[in-house]
Amino acid sequence: MELRGRTALITGSAKGLGKMTALTLAAMGCDIVLNYVNSEREAQQLAQEIERRHGVRATAVQADIARQEDVARLAALALAWSLTGSIDILINNAGPFIRERRLFADYEAAAITGLVNGNLLGVMLLDHQVLPGMRRRQWGRIIHFGFGHAGEGRAWPHRAVYAAAKTGLVSFTKTLAVEEAANGVTVHMVCPGDIRGMNKERTIAEVSEERDDESPSGRPGSGEDIARVIAFLCLPQSDYMTGNIVDVTGGFDPIKTSIKSS
């Protein structure tokens, strides 16, 4: 229970990688603030499961990270709910993604704005809301989510807006890490590989015997693969690590640089 007494806010945590991260941090003793946009039933059920299984406090707050007013409301409610009046761990998992492959010229302006707000601006604003408490307590962990090889800033045809927002977040991650290191706050980006469907909520043991021919590691990724890395970065003993862009991909490279591949 290395994180007992800490409070973690995890965006987009009713399902998928966010859910697995919430369960993992709860098992380490964290009180958990879940966040959802539309999945209220799943979020409330997860909050009850966390309290029952791990004996910590949990709550769920509806908010869309792409909306500035929602970010402010989420932060205010989470800070008021925390027993210490601060958020110790912030996991920025939520972020809109358009699965359909699309040239930049074919995007509508609203889609561009939504992707940038949800994947970059909303993340920055939420960080800004929780930083004062972390600074006051001289302890904090901030994790941003990227995608495999985001740190290289390569072209990603048909994903131009999403990729631009996330690679912008790479620079912000490194900058914030340097600025806040003296305040006991570490900042990292975790970059999952192509973890699909319900595998996002499965353990390593559950996928270990399965075969994924596209993965150099030979097996599909799982939610536990990501949650374990996040848990390590949140440990008190991980305070000498900051500003890292961590690929958790099994060696898979999702970026196809030729538009002919569409």
Q: What is the mean pLDDT of residues 75-89?
A: 97
Whether pLDDT at 31 is above 70: yes
Q: What is the mean pLDDT of residues 170-184?
A: 98
Domain boundaries, the chain: 7-250
pLDDT digits (tens, 9 = 90+) for 115-136: 999 999 999 999 999 999 999 9
Q: What is the mean pLDDT of residues 7-13?
A: 98
Whether pLDDT at 258 is above 60: no
Q: Does domain 7-250 have CATH number 3.40.50.720?
A: yes
Residue 259 pLDDT: 59
Q: Mean pLDDT for the chain?
A: 94
Q: Where are the alpha helices (DSSP H) in 67-159?
A: 68-81, 109-116, 122-137
Residue 189 pLDDT: 98
Q: Residue 200's closest CA among 43, 52, 16, 21? A: 16
At position 199, the amino acid (one-letter code) is N
Residue 260 pLDDT: 56
Indicate the helix (H) or strand (E) that contains 163: helix 160-180
Place 261 in a pLDDT band, splitting at 50, 70 and 90: very low
pLDDT digits (tens, 9 = 90+) for 185-238: 999 999 998 888 999 989 989 998 888 777 777 888 899 999 999 999 999 999
Q: What is the mean pLDDT of residues 158-180?
A: 97
Percent of the chain topping pLDDT 90: 84
Helices (H) and strands (E) in the chain, counts: 8, 7
Q: Where are the alpha helices (DSSP H) in 9-63?
A: 16-27, 40-54
Residue 90 pLDDT: 98
